[in-house]
C-alpha cells in the first residue's frame, strides 16, 4: 500500500470547529452597558523577505449615554511583536510608548481617574493582547490602530499567513452568553495583502474572503490583493502563497546595520537535501484530546479521521491510540498491526468515545512514551485544542519527559488560545515539529504538508556555525531535528561587516553531512530596521524555553524580558504600551524612543515598496553578494532543489488545484453546531 496515504486522513480531522465568538471587538469594562458599534475594520498586511507587517485599524462608536472604559481583545499571533499603537479620539491623537508594566498601569489609572483620555496595551500571556481605552464620551467615535511584526517561514514551498479573529476554545460558555459582543461592523471589513517575494510565485489563495481587487505579477514575485469579509469578525483570515517549483536549496541573510553600530541579521536556511521516504514498517502513536472542549462534532470527526488513517496503513506498520482528558486511556491496549481484524476492533472501540473532563496532556504523553521500540521509527502525533489544567502542568516537567526519548513528535494546536509556549517546550525538547490549525485553513493543504514530514527522513543534530565575522546572541544555532520542507530561521547580532563562512552540519540516517558557503556581512544596510524587534522577540522566546526546560530561573527571565521590551519597544509579559498625547508623555518624562523607532521603520518600508524586490540569497554562484560589489564564484550551498509537495520538483499533480477543489468542501463539512459539552 502506498506509504504516502498512511497518515493523511487522520490529519484532516485535526481541523475541526472552534467556538464562533469573535475576538478583536470592543466591549465596555463596566457591566450592563452596550458594546461599541464597529464602524469599520481595515487590515493591511505586507509580506516581504521572511516576515510580515500587520496594521489593524478599527473605528468604533460608544453607543451608551454615559462615559465608558472600553476593552479591546485580540488573539496573540504566533511569534508576533506588538510594536506600535495609536488612538484617535476627536482631534486628539494618542501614541504609544513601551514602559514597564507597573508604570503603565499606574499612569493609566491616574489619567483615567482624572477624566483624561488615555489608553494602554498589555500582553495577556500567550492568549491575547488587551487594549484598554479610558473615558470615551457618549456617542463618541474613536479609531484604534496597531501594528505587529512576525517571522513568516516557508514550509515546503508554501507560505501561510493568519490574521486571527476567532477566540480560543477554552472560554466559559455561560460567561460568553452573558457578556454579549458586537463582532459585526456596521461598515465593511477589508483586508489588503501586499506580497513581495524574491522568488516567482505560482498562486495566492484565501479560503475565506471575497477578492474585490487584485494586481499581480506572480512571475516577478509580487501581488496586491484586497479582500472583503462578509461574516463579521468571528473567523480567522488565512492567506497562502505558493513558490515556483524547482527552486534551489539556499541560504538567505537579511541584515540591518547602521554605520559604526552593532548589526542584526535574520538567517534563513532552506535545505536542498535529499530526505528519502520511510518505506520500512513504522510505529504511529496518536495522542488525542477528548476533554470537554472537544465538544460537538470534534471528537467524532477526530475518531473518524484516525480510522481512515489506520485503514490506509501498510500491514508492517503499527499503531497505538491514546486518548486523554483528566486521565489517559490506551484504547488499543498497546501497538496493533494494521491488519483488517485489528482495524475493525479499533473502529468499535472508537465509537464509544465522548468528550468530557479536563485536559491532562502530561498523562497522555507519559503513557505514549512507555512502550517505544528502539528498532522502529516512531512518530507521536499530538492533537489538543486546550490548555493543560489537570495533573502535571509545569513546562519544565514536560521538557524533561520528552528529552528522555528519541521520537518524532508532531504537535497540532487547535484554536487561538492554545498554549504555544507549552507545545514549543514539548517539541523543542524532542526535536519535534508543531503547527497551528484554524477553522479557515485549507485542510487538505495542512494534511499534505504534515504527511511530507511524517513520511520522510529527518536531519538530526543540525548545527550552524559562522566564522570570519564575530556573531553573538544567536538563536537556534543547534536544533535536534529538521524535517522535510522546514526552514531553519536564526536571528543574531554581529560586530563588524566582512567576509564570513557559514557551515551547516547534520546527520542523515547516521551519516554526517556538511554544507558550506562564503558570504559577506555588510558594514551598513538600513533597509530592515524591524529586524531588531524580531530579534528581541526571538531572544525572549529562547529565554522562555530555557525557563520551561529548567535551565534558567524565572527571575532571570523576568529581567531579560523587561530589558528587551524596553530597549526594543515591544509589548511583553513585563512591558506595556502607555498611549497618551504628546503633552502627557512629556508630563511623565517618558522618552519617545518608540516614536523615533517607528519613524525609522516607516521610512525604510516606504523605500522598500518603491524599489524592486531584493534578493537576500548569499550562496548563489556568480551572483553579486548583497553586502557589496564583490561577486562569488562558489558552488551553491546545496546541490538539490528545495522540497515541494508531491516530490522534489512539485510532483505529478498540482496541489493548488487540489486546494481549490477540496478546501471549501472540507471546511464546510466539519464546522460544528453551536452546542457543546461542559468542561475543558
Q: What is the mean pLDDT of residues 16-21?
A: 32
Residue 223 has pLDDT above 90, yes or no: yes
φ/ψ of residue 592, rounded to 5: -85, 55
Average pLDDT over residues 370-387: 84
Contact call for residues 223 and 204 (beta carbons, < 8 A) = yes
In this predicted model, which residue has the larger pLDDT, 404 or 649?
404
Structure confidence at residue 31 as a pLDDT band (50, 70, 90): low
Percent of the chain with pLDDT over 70: 81
Residue 181 pLDDT: 45
- If we measure between CA atoms, which residue out of 82, 77, 116 comes closest to residue 98? 82
pLDDT for res 676: 31
Q: Where residue 305 falls among pLDDT bands split at 50, 70, 90?
A: low
Q: At the topology level of CATH, where does 26-245 sit?
A: Immunoglobulin-like (2.60.40)
**pLDDT exceeds cutoff 90 at 555:** no
Give me the pLDDT at residue 674, please. 33
The alpha carbon of 648 is separated from its chain's Cα centroid by a whole number of angstroms, namely 25
Would strands 237-243 and 201-205 be described as parallel, antiparallel, or unpaired? antiparallel
Segment 136-187, tens digit of pLDDT? 999 999 999 999 999 998 999 999 999 988 765 444 433 333 333 455 556 6
Instruction: Compute the average pLDDT of residues 505-524.
Output: 95
* pLDDT (mean) for 570-582: 96
Q: Which band of pLDDT confidence, cut at 50, 70 and 90, is reported for residue 282?
A: confident
Q: What is the pTM of this model?
A: 0.85
Is residue 534's pLDDT more than 90? Answer: yes
Residue 618 scores a pLDDT above 90? yes
Helix (H, G, I), strand (E, B) or coil at 560: helix
- Between CA 288 and CA 284 the distance in angstroms is 12
Residue 91, pLDDT score: 84
Which residue do the cell numbers 493568519 mark?
Answer: 162
Question: Average of pLDDT values for 606-632?
Answer: 73
More confident residue, 499 or 7: 499
Fold of 3-16+278-457+660-670: Rossmann fold (3.40.50)
Helix (H, G, I), strand (E, B) or coil at 251: strand
Distances (CA, A) of 503 to 467, 477, 508, 639: 9, 11, 16, 15
Q: Which of 97-101, 325-329, 336-340, 628-632 has the highest mean pLDDT?
A: 97-101
The DSSP annotation for 36-50 comes to PEEEEEEEEEEEETT
Q: Lowest-pLDDT range, 36-50, 455-469, 600-614?
A: 36-50
- Between 346-360, 476-490, 643-657, 659-673, the lowest mean confidence (pLDDT) is in 659-673
Of the ranges 56-60, 462-466, 650-654, the best mean pLDDT one: 462-466
Residue 155 main-chain phi, psi, to 5 deg: -120, 110
Top-confidence residue, 655 or 640: 640
3-state secondary structure of 565: helix
Could you tell me the three cell numbers for 628? 557589496
* pLDDT recorded at residue 648: 41
Query: Which ranges of 71-195 would DSSP assign to H, the alpha helix?
Result: 101-113, 173-178
* pLDDT surpasses 70 at 248: yes
Q: Taking residues 11-31, what's their average pLDDT?
A: 46
pLDDT exceeds 90 at position 515? yes
Portion of the chain with pLDDT greater than 90, in percent: 47
pLDDT at 523 over 90: yes
E strands, 468-590, in order: 471-472, 478-482, 488-494, 498-508, 511-521, 575-580
Collapsing DSSP to helix, strand or coil, 368 comes out as helix
Q: How confident is the model at residue 2 (pLDDT cuts 50, 70, 90)?
A: very low
pLDDT tens track for 330-354: 989 999 998 889 988 888 888 777 8
Please give the pLDDT value at position 426: 87
Q: Are 533 and 149 in contact (CB under 8 A)?
A: yes
Mean pLDDT is lowest, of 205-219, 296-310, 547-561, for 296-310
Minimum mean pLDDT range among 16-25, 287-296, 316-325 = 16-25
Q: Rounded mean pLDDT of 256-271?
A: 96
320 or 674, which is more confident: 320
- pLDDT band per the 50, 70, 90 thresholds, residue 556: confident
What integer best gives the mean pLDDT of the chain? 82
**Does the pLDDT of residue 601 top 60, yes or no?**
yes
More confident residue, 673 or 438: 438
CA distances from 60 to 35, 145, 577, 622 (A): 10, 11, 20, 55
163 forms bridges with which residues in the sheet? 237
Euclidean distance between CA atoms 215 and 220, whole angstroms? 12
Domain ranges of the chain: 3-16+278-457+660-670, 26-245
Amino acid at each position: 500500500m502506498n506509504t504516502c496515504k498512511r497518515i493523511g486522513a487522520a490529519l484532516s480531522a485535526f481541523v475541526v470547529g472552534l467556538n464562533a465568538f469573535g475576538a478583536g471587538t470592543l466591549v465596555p469594562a463596566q457591566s450592563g452597558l452596550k458594546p461599541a458599534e464597529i464602524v469599520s475594520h481595515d487590515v493591511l498586511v505586507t509580506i516581504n523577505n521572511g516576515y510580515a507587517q500587520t496594521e489593524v485599524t478599527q473605528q468604533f462608536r460608544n453607543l451608551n449615554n454615559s462615559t465608558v472604559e472600553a476593552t479591546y481583545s485580540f488573539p496573540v499571533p504566533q511569534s508576533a511583536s506588538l510594536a506600535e499603537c495609536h488612538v484617535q479620539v476627536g482631534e486628539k491623537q494618542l501614541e504609544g510608548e513601551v514602559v514597564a508594566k507597573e508604570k503603565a498601569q499606574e499612569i493609566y489609572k491616574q489619567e483615567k481617574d482624572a477624566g483624561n483620555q488615555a489608553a494602554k496595551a498589555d500582553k495577556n500571556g500567550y492568549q491575547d493582547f488587551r487594549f484598554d481605552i479610558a473615558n470615551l464620551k457618549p456617542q463618541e467615535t474613536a479609531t484604534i490602530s496597531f501594528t505587529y511584526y512576525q517571522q513568516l517561514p516557508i514550509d515546503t514551498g508554501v507560505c501561510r499567513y493568519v490574521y486571527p479573529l476567532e477566540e480560543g476554545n477554552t472560554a466559559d460558555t455561560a460567561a460568553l452568553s452573558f457578556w454579549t459582543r458586537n463582532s459585526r461592523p456596521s461598515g465593511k471589513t477589508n483586508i489588503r495583502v501586499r506580497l513581495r517575494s524574491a522568488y516567482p510565485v505560482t498562486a495566492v489563495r484565501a479560503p475565506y474572503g471575497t477578492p474585490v481587487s487584485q494586481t499581480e505579477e506572480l512571475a516577478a514575485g509580487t501581488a496586491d490583493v484586497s479582500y472583503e469579509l462578509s461574516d463579521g469578525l468571528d473567523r480567522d483570515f488565512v492567506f497562502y502563497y505558493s513558490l515556483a517549483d524547482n527552486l534551489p536549496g539556499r541560504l538567505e541573510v537579511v541584515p540591518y546595520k547602521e554605520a559604526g553600530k552593532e548589526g542584526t541579521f535574520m538567517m534563513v536556511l532552506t535545505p536542498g537535501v535529499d530526505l528519502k521516504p520511510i518505506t520500512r514498517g513504522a510505529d504511529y502513536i496518536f495522542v488525542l484530546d477528548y476533554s470537554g472542549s472537544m465538544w460537538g462534532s470534534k471528537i467524532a470527526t477526530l475518531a473518524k479521521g484516525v480510522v481512515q488513517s489506520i485503514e490506509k496503513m501498510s500491514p508492517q506498520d503499527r499503531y497505538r491510540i491514546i486518548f486523554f482528558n483528566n486521565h489517559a486511556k490506551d484504547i488499543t491496549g498497546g501497538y496493533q498491526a494494521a491488519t483488517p481484524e485489528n482495524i475493525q476492533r479499533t473502529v468499535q472501540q472508537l465509537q464509544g468515545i465522548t468528550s468530557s473532563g479536563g485536559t491532562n496532556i502530561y498523562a497522555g504523553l507519559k503513557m505514549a512514551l512507555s512502550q517505544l521500540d528502539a528498532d522502529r521509527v516512531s512518530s507521536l502525533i499530538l492533537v489538543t485544542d486546550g490548555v493543560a489544567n489537570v495533573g502535571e502542568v509545569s513546562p519544565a516537567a514536560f521538557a524533561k519527559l520528552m528529552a528522555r526519548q528519541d521520537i518524532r513528535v508532531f504537535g497540532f494546536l487547535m484554536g487561538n488560545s492554545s498554549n504555544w509556549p507549552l507545545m514549543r517546550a514539548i517539541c523543542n525538547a524532542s526535536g519535534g515539529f508543531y503547527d497551528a490549525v484554524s477553522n479557515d485553513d485549507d485542510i487538505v493543504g495542512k494534511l499534505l504538508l504534515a504527511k511530507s514530514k511524517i513520511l520522510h527522513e529527518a536531519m538530526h543534530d543540525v548545527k550552524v556555525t559562522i566564522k570570519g565575522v564575530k556573531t553573538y546572541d544567536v538563536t537556534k544555532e543547534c536544533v535536534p531535528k529538521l524535517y522535510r520542507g522546514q526552514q531553519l530561521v536564526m536571528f543574531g547580532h554581529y560586530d563588524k561587516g566582512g567576509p564570513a563562512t557559514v557551515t551547516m552540519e547534520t546527520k542523515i540516517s547516521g551519516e554526517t553531512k556538511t554544507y558550506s558557503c562564503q558570504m559577506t556581512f555588510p558594514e551598513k544596510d538600513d533597509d530592515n530596521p524591524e529586524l531588531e524587534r524580531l530579534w528581541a522577540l526571538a531572544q525572549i522566546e529562547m529565554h522562555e524555553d530555557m525557563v520551561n526546560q529548567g535551565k534558567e530561573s524565572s527571575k532571570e527571565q523576568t529581567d531579560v524580558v523587561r530589558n528587551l521590551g524596553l530597549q526594543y519597544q515591544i509589548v511583553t509579559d513585563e512591558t506595556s504600551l502607555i498611549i497618551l498625547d504628546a503633552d502627557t508623555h512629556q508630563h511623565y518624562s517618558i522618552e519617545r524612543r518608540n516614536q523615533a523607532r517607528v519613524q525609522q521603520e516607516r521610512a525604510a518600508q516606504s523605500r522598500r515598496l518603491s524599489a524592486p524586490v531584493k534578493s537576500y540569497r548569499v550562496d548563489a554562484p556568480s551572483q553579486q553578494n548583497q553586502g557589496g560589489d564583490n561577486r562569488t564564484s562558489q558552488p551553491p550551498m546545496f546541490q538539490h532543489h528545495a522540497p515541494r509537495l508531491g516530490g522534489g520538483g512539485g510532483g505529478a499533480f498540482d496541489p493548488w488545484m487540489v486546494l481549490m477543489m477540496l478546501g471549501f468542501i472540507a471546511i464546510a463539512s466539519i464546522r460544528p453546531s453551536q452546542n457543546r459539552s461542559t468542561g475543558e
